[in-house]
């Protein structure tokens, strides 16, 4: 294995740090309580759609990063950045709407469950992306990928059980809220998988630079969701909402709470800035190191989020959650082919690995789930 350069180490550290901060800052914002627009009692900052708008602003800023990168590259004697073909930006409207819907659902769910479970359960995207790639992209999954999907399902069940048992001891979330949040996260992954399949068709057909693609989706998500905040202000949803007016989203209440508690703004800015740098770092890691490294770092940030949440006292340690994380890690590794380099060193398994690699479609890890994709990380 080649030694990493200082720049590669910087990119890996940046991706791991900003990817972890993205979820942690969103959860931090959820934990604040402050007065709203009227002199009533303090209430929790539960404004998932306002948070989603901030996230899309971070994605939108990737457009600026793309043009800055392009401008810098053109000053070189030999430019290396491929700006891609010209394309109709409206092509990204459907995946952007998937991103907007899935992100909003996940931020609602983050109010109901822990940050670590939120991150772990997002691993369900492998299941739905794999199935959709077979149904709509005509891809044939390898036996190791099917095994990875089944192991991922097992890991999701274990994480769900951990939340069920820890829900009885959790004072911050009711058990029914925790389980509802977990289900919402898994449901959101179905939408994310549709988004990823659409992105694959667009990005590789039109040769769009990933930063430009992320920025274009961010623009649509920011613009549409900002407009939707207006009708949301008048839609009453009863007890489903925790804001005083019990409407779907009360953006004015969110701004008033920020005025009374400026640290909320710091948390929201942390989410916006981290998603921008996370996308840039992730795409750069894929280019400078490998898509496999990006997958490993993405799995490691789940561990970082869990450890930090425990250290800050945001959640309690549960052994089942550790087991669930390890099982999900194995499932993700198998699906993305991380087992191949290890098996290739074993003489009796080398031939099997070579056969599997020949059957695999070229660049699949970069295309679909290898997070060389334009999925916003984070999407949350």
Percentages helix, strand, coil for the chain, rounded to the nearest 5?
70, 0, 25
So what's the pLDDT on residue 372? 33
- Lowest-confidence region among 15-24, 118-127, 219-228: 118-127
**Is it the case that residue 302 has pLDDT exceeding 50?**
yes
For all residues of the chain together, what is the average pLDDT?
82
Give me the count of residues in the chain.
Answer: 380
CB 334 within 8 A of CB 145: yes
CA distance 246 to 256: 16
CB 84 within 8 A of CB 210: no
CA distances from 187 to 55, 95, 192, 306 (A): 20, 16, 9, 22
CB 153 within 8 A of CB 183: no
Q: pLDDT over 90 for what percent of the chain?
A: 35
Residue 296 banded pLDDT, cuts 50, 70, 90: confident
Q: Specify which residues 236 forms β-bridges with.
A: 247
Instruction: Give me the mean pLDDT over the 219-237 stretch.
Output: 94
DSSP letter string over 212-275? Answer: HHHHHHHHHHHHHHHHHHHHHTT-B-GGG--STT-BS--HHHHHHHHHH-THHHHHHHHHHHHH
Contacts 24+ apart (CB under 8 A), 286-290: 286/366, 286/370, 286/371, 286/372, 288/7, 288/8, 288/11, 289/4, 289/8, 289/11, 289/12
DSSP letter string over 120-180? Answer: HHGGGHHHHHHHHHHHHS-----HHHHHHHHHHHHHHHHHHHHHHHHHTT-SSS-HHHHHH
- Assessment of whether the complete model's pTM goes beyond 0.85: no
**Is it the case that residue 345 has pLDDT exceeding 70?**
no
Identity of the highest mean pLDDT range in 162-171, 248-257, 365-374: 248-257
Residue 56 banded pLDDT, cuts 50, 70, 90: very high
Q: Which two tokens stand for residue 200?
A: 């694959």
Q: Per residue in 235-248, pLDDT tens?
A: 998 877 788 888 99
Choice between 342 and 102, residue whose per-residue pLDDT is larger: 102
CA distances from 352 to 238, 288, 335, 341, 355 (A): 57, 29, 16, 12, 5
CA distances from 166 to 2, 153, 317 (A): 43, 20, 9
So what's the pLDDT on residue 369? 35
- Lowest-confidence region among 14-23, 99-108, 314-323: 314-323
Instruction: Give me the mean pLDDT over the 287-316 stretch.
Output: 83
So what's the pLDDT on residue 280? 83
So what's the pLDDT on residue 254? 93
Q: Per residue in 156-211, pLDDT tens?
A: 999 888 888 776 455 566 777 888 888 999 999 999 989 888 887 776 677 788 88
């Amino acid at each position: 294995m080649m030694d990493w350069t200082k720049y590669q180490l910087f990119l890996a550290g940046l991706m791991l740090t900003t990817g972890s901060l993205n979820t942690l800052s969103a959860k931090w914002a959820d934990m604040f309580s402050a007065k709203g627009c009227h002199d009533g009692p303090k209430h929790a900052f539960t404004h998932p759609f306002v948070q989603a708008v901030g996230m899309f602003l971070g994605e939108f800023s990737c457009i600026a990063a793309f043009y800055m990168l392009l401008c810098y590259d053109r000053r070189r004697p030999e430019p290396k950045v491929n700006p891609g073909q010209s394309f109709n930006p409206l092509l990204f409207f459907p995946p952007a709407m998937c991103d907007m819907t899935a992100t909003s659902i996940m931020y609602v769910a983050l109010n109901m469950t822990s940050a670590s479970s939120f991150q772990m359960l997002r691993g369900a995207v492998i299941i739905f992306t794999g199935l959709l790639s077979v149904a709509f992209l005509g891809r044939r999954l390898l036996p190791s990928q099917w095994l990875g999907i089944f192991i991922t399902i097992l890991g999701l069940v274990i994480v769900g059980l951990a939340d069920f048992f820890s829900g009885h001891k959790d004072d911050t979330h009711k058990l029914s809220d925790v389980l509802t949040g977990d289900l919402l996260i898994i449901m959101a992954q179905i939408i994310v998988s549709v988004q990823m399949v659409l992105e694959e068709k667009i990005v590789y057909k039109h040769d769009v630079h990933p930063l430009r693609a992320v920025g274009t989706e961010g623009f649509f998500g920011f613009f549409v969701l900002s407009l939707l905040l207006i009708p949301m202000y008048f839609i009453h949803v009863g007890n489903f909402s925790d804001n005083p007016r019990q409407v779907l989203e009360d953006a004015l209440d969110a701004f008033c709470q920020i005025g009374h508690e400026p640290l909320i703004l710091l948390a929201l800015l942390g989410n916006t800035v981290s998603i921008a740098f996370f996308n840039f770092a992730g795409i750069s890691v894929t280019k400078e190191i490998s898509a496999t490294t990006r997958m490993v770092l993405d799995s490691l940030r789940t561990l970082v989020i869990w450890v930090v949440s425990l250290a800050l006292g945001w959640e309690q340690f549960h052994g089942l959650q550790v087991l669930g994380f390890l099982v999900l890690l194995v499932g993700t590794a198998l699906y993305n082919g991380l087992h191949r380099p290890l098996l290739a060193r074993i003489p009796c398994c080398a031939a099997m690995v070579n056969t599997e690699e020949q059957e695999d479609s070229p660049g699949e890890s970069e295309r679909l789930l290898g997070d060389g994709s334009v999925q916003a990380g984070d999407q949350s």
